[in-house]
Each structure stands twice: as structure tokens, then as C-alpha cells.
Structure 1
Amino acid sequence: MLWKVATFNVNGVRARLDRLLAWISEQHPHVLCLQETKCQDAVFPRQALEALGYEVLVKGEKSFNGVAVLTQETPESVVMETGDPLLDREARFLAVQVQGVWVINTYVPQGRSPDDPAFQYKLDFLNQVGRWIQERFSPQDLLIWTGDINVAPEAIDVYDPKRLEGEVGFHPEERAKLKEIMAWGLVDLLRRLHPQAKQFTFWDYRLPKSFDRNLGWRLDHMLVTEPMAHRCAECFVDTGPRGQSKPSDHTPVVAVFDMSSLS
């Protein structure tokens, strides 16, 4: 059985619903993690997504942040609130267990600038995600941490590493923090399968023609334990949605797993 998991920062789910529905109908992910939905739960377009055959879990807030997970199969477990005041402060964390696999969807804070208190909030949020994972799982478990993680891990993951060094999203402290978390036993799927690919997932609106010029960042990730990496048939970035009119500034990342190899 091939099992498809995707992540997509939609930057406003209601504003881009038609494009999202079209993409889902084309790709048919079994699990889809959305970030930056920017709406309260009561006005989330649940019915339109349920009509495509999905169960819909949402954690939103008005105008900002927001995460959702869509699943074709009924989740065995759901974590809407972690009990951690930092992780639960805003609508940024939602985890589900589907087909025996834990999928953790995060919208990590952007951080604003290195001298802003929001940057420390970002580092603390990353640290708490890592702690939450390590306290509940082992590297041998079936686990996916995905979403807009807002960190470009390596020089190959930004369009101009020399100029962008030290900027939020490519700052040494946040890269080191992500590396520390991953050292527990997480694999960067895209980099594992495509070690030399200069493939981005985000192109800033504020930079003129950033997408056309491919002036991007790889901020959206599929980070998995080794048992999931072993089962991965493919991981790719679908740039199609970013090239459409009035797109999100992000584009989806998709991973396909061969779950028939489960022992």
C-alpha cells in the first residue's frame, strides 16, 4: 500500500480554497497537514473538504496562525492540546496517529528578527517540540514531524546563503536547534533522497518576482524516524500551486511511503 502524506502552508485557507480543493483532487493525499489557515474553527471550510472524503481536525484562531490535519482514514489518536503552555499558546501544534503512524503538524513561529523577543519564542517553541517528541516516542517508532518549520537547515536550502546568513530562517541558532532535535533520530526526507537538490518551498512576496527568479527558501519539511525513511518511496516539492495566480507564498511538500513493508 502506497500512503501519501503532504504538508502545505496555505496562507489563508478560505482565500485559497478553490486552489486547495483542486490540488487535493489531483494529488489525493491520505494525510494533509495545513498551516497558517488564518480562521477560527467555526468558519473553517470543513464541509468542502469533507466532501472530498476527509475527516477534518482543526485548531484555529482569528486572522493568524492555525493548523489543520485532513485524513482519509479515521485517526486512532488526536492531540489538540499538549498541556505545554508554550506549545498551546497559539494555534500552531496538532498531532494525530493514523494507520499506526504519528503525524505531528507544526507551524513554527517565524521569529521576526534575531533581536526581537519573538526569536526566542521561536527557539523555545522548537525546543519544546523536540522535548514533546523525545518524551513520548523512540527513534524506532513510526513518526513524521512535518509542517512549516520556518528553518532552512543548510546553505543549499536558501537562494543566497552568504547574504542571508544570520537572517531569521537561516540563523545559526535556529539551525543548530533543529539539528540538535533531529540528532535524536529524525531524517530530513527530501535531503536524504535528493542530496544535491536546490529545491525551495517558500518564495517571499516582498521580493519582486521571487518565484520566477527562484529566489526561495526551503522552510517546509518532512522529518521522519528511520523506520519511516526506510519505507519512503519518494519525497518531492510540488511547485505548481506557487505558480498560480494569487498563490500562497509556500508550496506543498509530499512524501509517499510503502506501508506494505510494515512488519
Structure 2
Amino acid sequence: MRIATWNVNSVKARLGNVTEWLDSAKPDVVLFQEIKCETAAFPLQAFQDLGYHCAVVGQKAYNGVALLSREEPTDIITRLPGEPEDEQARYVEATVGGIRIASLYLPNGNPVGTEKYPYKLRWMDRLKAHAASLLAQEIPFVLGGDYNVIPEARDVYDPAAWITDALFRPETRAKFREITHLGLVEAFRAVHPDADRAFTFWDYQAGAWPRDNGLRIDHFLLSPQAADRLVGCAIDKGPRGKEKASDHTPVVLELVA
């Protein structure tokens, strides 16, 4: 099974790039973040024409996630448990091929001095609690998406410049470690333990892309049962170099049956 995650930064604005990549890469499951449209406005037909079933959680102009799969997904949930009043469209989870798979868009958290940062940390606590509940079921699961977390200094082009940013603050990284320390495997690092400058995001400003001034903030976290099936995890930089590209690029996970 090939599972891709990609923050597309507006699915309608990037539709040509996205469908072109899907037609070439042919993942079995695709996780989108920042679709930036309401559920009813999602370009469903374009993806159905490529053979995908779509579970979409949209929101006007902001956020939004989707899970696309060649096999029809079942037991779909559309909110991360733990804060019923949270209406932001950031989470969708379903069973595909016997694996629970989630597409998540973790809050950015900036500016740190506003309510946005405590919201980010609460969201991470909720994700930890949900991951623990999934672990208790002893089922294979994959939590993929834009985590807005830079796990280590080698995952950012200039660590000193980012130390006060919500993506790299010590509290953020500590919360991320709490989640992985439940017993989850961060797939890219498991496959590429020594990789440096392996980025998934490059800002549109200051020549970040041509200078390779990037961040690695898009991740797959795997349960032990899913990690036993891990055979590959790679960053595909090709789409970032296209015209009208998203500022993120796809990450592709490979699991054996």
C-alpha cells in the first residue's frame, strides 16, 4: 500500500498539479491538508475520475482535510476527539485495507503570544490521547499529515532563526516526542535516520525554494503493527518545482501487505 500526504494549499487552485501528480504516482491512499474549500465545493469528480473514493472535511477559505482511497473507506470520523466545541476542519480518519488512516492538519500556533499557541498544544494533547486509544485496540494505524512541527534542528535550514517559532519551540517538540514515545514510529526517520536537509516545505518568500531553505513538517506516525510493514518513506520534491506549486511537497509511505 502506498499512502501519500500532501498539504496542497488550496485544492482548487492547484487542481491541475495535483491530478497530474496522482495520475503519475498512483498512490493507493492520498491525504490532503489545507484544501481551503467547503466540503460541497471540493472538486470530487476530478478525483473520482482517477479512481478515488473521497472523504472530505472542508471549511470555507481555511484549513480542510481529505482522505482519498481506491478502496472505499469505512468507519469515517471527521473530528479529532476531545474538544467538541472545536469546529476547525483539521482531521479525518477511516479504515482502508484493514488499516486506520488519518489525514491531519495540526494548528500552526503562530503568533505564539495569542490563543493560537495554547490551541496548538491542546490539539497535540488531544492527538496523543486519541493515539493512545488506538494503540489500546492493537490495530495498525497511520497518522499522516502536516504536523506543523519541526522535530529536530536538522529538520530546518536555520535552527537559530526558528527557535521562538511555534513550529520549533521546545514545548512543541516536547509534545511531539510525547506522542511518539507512546510507541509510534516516525516513518521518514525510521527509513532515513541520517538524512539532512530533507525538507517538505519551502516558503514562497525570500527565495526559499531555489536556495533550499526548507522545513520538514509533514510526517507519518505509525503504530507498531503498521511499522512492522514499513518498507519505504520518501519525499517527492518534484511538485514543488512546478508553476503555481503548493509550498509543500508530497511525502509517500510504502507498506507491505
Q: TM-score, normalised by structure 1?
A: 0.94
1:64-93, Cα deviation, whole Å (9 max, x unpaired)? 000000000012321124553358420001
- The superposition leaves residues 120-148 of structure 1 with CA deviations (integer Å, 9 ceiling, x where unpaired) of 10010111011112123338420111100
Give the whole-Å Cα distance in 1 for the aligned partners of 2:43 and 2:116.
Answer: 30
Which residue does 1:26 correspond to in 2? 24
- Any gaps of 5 or more consecutive residues in structure 2? none
Partner residue of 1:162 out of 156, 160, 163: 160
State the match for 1:124 in structure 2.
122
Superposed, 1:164-183 pairs within 5 Å as 164-183=162-181
Distance 2:157 2:85 in 1: 30
Structure 1 pair 86/112, CA: closer, same or farther in 2 (3 Å)?
Answer: farther
1:10 alignment counterpart:
8
Query: After superposition, where does 1:6-155 map in structure 2 within 5 Å?
Result: 6-82=4-80, 84-85=82-83, 88-138=86-136, 140-155=138-153
- Structure 2 residue aligned with 1:234: 232
Structure 2 counterpart of 1:209, which letter?
G
CA drift at 1:114 = 2.0
Give 1:167 shift.
1.5
Residues in 2 aligned to 1:121 and 1:230: alpha-carbon distance in whole angstroms: 33
After TM superposition, the runs of 4+ consecutive aligned structure 1 residues lying more than 6 A away are none
CA contact (8 A) 2:135 2:223 kept: no
1:31-85 per-residue CA deviation (whole Å, 9 max, x = no partner) reads 1000000001111100010010000110001100000000000123211245533
1:80-124 deviation per Cα after TM superposition (whole angstroms, max 9, x unaligned): 245533584200010011111011111011111221210110010
In 2, Cα distance between the equivalents of 1:137 and 1:232? 17
Whether the 8 Å contact between 1:238 and 1:251 is mirrored in structure 2 is: yes
Structure 2 distance, partners of 1:246, 1:139, is 42
1:223 is matched with 221
Q: Alignment identity in percent?
A: 39
Q: Is the 8 A contact 2:80 2:126 kept in 1?
A: no
Most deviating of 129-138 and 182-191:
129-138
Q: Is the 8 A contact 2:35 2:65 kept in 1?
A: yes
1:216 deviates by 0.5
| AA in 2 matched with 1:150 | N
Q: Give ranges in structure 1 of 5+ residues lacking alignment.
A: none
For the 8 Å contact 1:76–1:99, the answer to whether it is kept is no
